[in-house]
Structure 1
Amino acid sequence: MFRLAHISDVHLGPMPRLSVAQLASKRITGYVNWHRNRRKHLFGNTLENVLGGMRQAMPDHVAITGDLVNLATRTEIEAAGLWLETHFDPHKTTVVPGNHDAYVPGALKRATATWRPWLQSDTPAPDGSLFPSYRKRGPVALIGCSTANATLPFMATGDFSRKQAKAAGRLLEQAKKDGLYRVVLIHHPPVRGAAPVHKRMRGIGRFAKMLKQHGAELVLHGHTHLDTLHYLKGCDGPVPVVGIASASQGPGGRKPLAGFNLFEIDGEPGNWQTLHRRMQLGGEGPGMVENEAGVIALEESL
């Protein structure tokens, strides 16, 4: 059995001091939003407790689906690199970026350069592109897609391009031929209506067409800070699409408490079994509890 853990939307704090020049951009809106809202609930030792609970679950691999930082300053990007280095073995952890990691022009390039060991494919692409990434771990193929791009103020959209869809489709097809369990990692939810218009993913139809043609066993995303489960049509049946609360969400907010997804994957091609356990902070104390509503055998859900 292969155990895959999933966290997202880490939003590492605290917010660094920003210069006037740094604030003279879209960052000013994010800076105000942080101080008015996010810092009230993304605080304390919440993230530390989530990581502690995840370590106790002893996953074989960890997927992190974006938004490691808040405003993508150089200081934040470097701090996130140190955080990854401290807590996660690059061979046992796969990261894809989110919109906050590409908050302003140039930020995504710096972030991917700093976090490259956790992003890159087992075999680098001939053209040097990072995404889609492809990693084989045991019976599992992890295919990482990037929707991260800099956007205008008050926008948090993502983009799943035609080029990336074609390349990811080829990887899904190859993984299927190799008899692997295929997991697609992406930041924005590739489901219509799952995010407001100003936070949606452009290319949802393209993603759906890719899955319908090539299939997958599981799609993991973040962005909404919600514990969700949707399904998309795949060539061999419905594909579960699973979201997760922010890994730093403390008590008292409108969004669900922080936690992690844990998937226990077993079986063989054509007969995969997947048990999903949604682990969440208990609200009192550092311990994690299993959210019974989230315990589902994905292959028996419809």
Structure 2
Amino acid sequence: MPPYRLAHLSDPHLPPPPGALTWRDLASKRALSAIAWRRKGPEHRPDVLAALIADVRAQGCDHTAITGDLTNFSTPAEYAAARAWLQTLGDPRDLTLSPGNHDALVGADAPARFAPWREWLGDADDIAFPALRERGPLALINLCSAIPTAPWLAAGRLGADQLARLTQILDSLAGRDLRRVVTIHHPPSQGVVSGRKSLEDAADLRAILARHGVDLILHGHAHEAEVSAIPGPSGPIPVLGVPSASAAGGGRHAPARWHALEFPADPADRRIRVEARGLVNGAFAPLGAYVLGA
């Protein structure tokens, strides 16, 4: 059997639709984000994102993971626009979305618990994190680190309830041949982002994973290509991040990039092949490949 192919992209930062912000937003954190968007918005281009999605399709991936920040201000209009964009990507069962901090920028007016995106968050009728989705040889464990924060902060938090459910899910997967892949917006590794952008309970998450283990963690948020690791029960757990999927490059962050991850059909083969594909001279091309667990 051919290997199972998982695409990972992140932080598309879709352009806000007309009327996304109202006068009431001037009294909230959204006003600060609007000022920041005027400065860095041109770095995020719809044509770059469209080219990346076309490249994902051309590579014949079986499933896609998007690790957050579809929106910029978490307004209802942006949620609706993001839902329309998600619907263009195919069957919701073939895409898993982990919300980002920009998707929960403020509590007021934000759609309750990401309701417009329910089909892409997990398989259950209700929205609950972590969401477990079994696809081919994979157990995709979708965490949500997105929370409203004070101005100038972009931190995340999982919370005690979500961490407890994560432990239960990992217990239920023990002894099965599925490759366990965690998707989350904020990186769990230390030093990848600054303190004001970090995962507040990352130490608690790392402690759980050090006991139970997973095969791979995918994140966004940093807007850079990141390779790190955290301790696992039988060796380091690889942690991979990608730049923004709409970044044209030339600004503060790296140009758009995504990863094609291959998992062998043989459950005894725990290797993961990673191919990085990025924006080069206006088109997406292979940047290199390596194998995890070799």
Residue of structure 2 equivalent to 1:28: 31
Question: Does the Cα contact within 8 Å between 1:143 and 1:184 map onto a contact in 2?
Answer: yes
Change in Cα spacing, 1:108 to 1:182, as seen in structure 2 (3 Å) is farther
Deviation per residue, 1:103-134 (Å, 9 max, x gap): 110455446110000012x345xxx5510000
Question: Does the Cα contact within 8 Å between 1:267 and 1:273 map onto a contact in 2?
Answer: no
**Alpha-carbon RMSD:** 1.6
Counterpart AA for 2:101: N
The question of 1:114 aligning with 2:116 is answered yes
Counterpart AA for 1:83: W
- Once residues 105 and 29 of structure 1 are traced to their aligned partners in structure 2, the CA distance between those partners, rounded to angstroms, is 15
Counterpart AA for 2:95: T
In structure 2, stretches of 5+ residues that fail to align are none
Question: Does the Cα contact within 8 Å between 1:7 and 1:247 map onto a contact in 2?
Answer: yes
Q: How does 1:170-209 map to 2 (within 5 A)?
A: 170-209=168-207
Change in Cα spacing, 1:116 to 1:138, as seen in structure 2 (3 Å) is same
- Once residues 28 and 88 of structure 1 are traced to their aligned partners in structure 2, the CA distance between those partners, rounded to angstroms, is 34
In structure 1, stretches of 5+ residues that fail to align are none
Residue in structure 2 matching 1:142, options 140, 161, 165: 140
Q: Give the structure-1-normalised TM-score.
A: 0.92
Counterpart AA for 2:102: H
Question: Does the Cα contact within 8 Å between 2:223 and 2:253 map onto a contact in 1?
Answer: yes
Matched residue SS, 1:59 = coil
Q: How does 1:1-302 map to 2 (within 5 A)?
A: 1-14=3-16, 16-17=18-19, 18-36=21-39, 38-106=40-108, 109-110=111-112, 112-120=114-122, 122-123=123-124, 128-282=126-280, 284-285=281-282, 287-292=283-288, 295-300=289-294
Matched residue SS, 1:177 = coil
Counterpart AA for 2:30: R
Aligned length, in residue pairs: 291
- Once residues 28 and 97 of structure 2 are traced to their aligned partners in structure 1, the CA distance between those partners, rounded to angstroms, is 27
Question: Does the Cα contact within 8 Å between 1:67 and 1:97 map onto a contact in 2?
Answer: yes
Q: Note the C-alpha offset of 1:270.
A: 4.9
Change in Cα spacing, 1:185 to 1:55, as seen in structure 2 (3 Å) is same
Change in Cα spacing, 1:242 to 1:147, as seen in structure 2 (3 Å) is same
Counterpart AA for 1:3: R
Counterpart AA for 1:99: N
Identity among equivalent positions (%) equals: 36
Between 1:105-114 and 1:92-101, the stretch displaced more is 105-114
Deviation per residue, 1:52-100 (Å, 9 max, x gap): 1111011000001111100011111000000001113211001110100
- Once residues 27 and 213 of structure 2 are traced to their aligned partners in structure 1, the CA distance between those partners, rounded to angstroms, is 44
- Once residues 61 and 14 of structure 1 are traced to their aligned partners in structure 2, the CA distance between those partners, rounded to angstroms, is 26
Question: Does the Cα contact within 8 Å between 1:175 and 1:181 map onto a contact in 2?
Answer: no
Question: Does the Cα contact within 8 Å between 2:118 and 2:127 map onto a contact in 1?
Answer: no
Q: Give the structure-2-normalised TM-score.
A: 0.94
Deviation per residue, 1:211-262 (Å, 9 max, x gap): 1111000000000101011011111221100000000101321211102111
Question: Does the Cα contact within 8 Å between 1:101 and 1:107 map onto a contact in 2?
Answer: no
> Which runs of 4 or more aligned residues in structure 1 lie more than 6 Å from their structure 2 counterparts after TM superposition?
none
Change in Cα spacing, 1:203 to 1:108, as seen in structure 2 (3 Å) is farther
Between 1:110-119 and 1:74-83, the stretch displaced more is 110-119
Matched residue SS, 1:158 = coil
Matched residue SS, 2:148 = coil
Change in Cα spacing, 1:170 to 1:202, as seen in structure 2 (3 Å) is same
Question: Does the Cα contact within 8 Å between 2:145 and 2:158 map onto a contact in 1?
Answer: yes
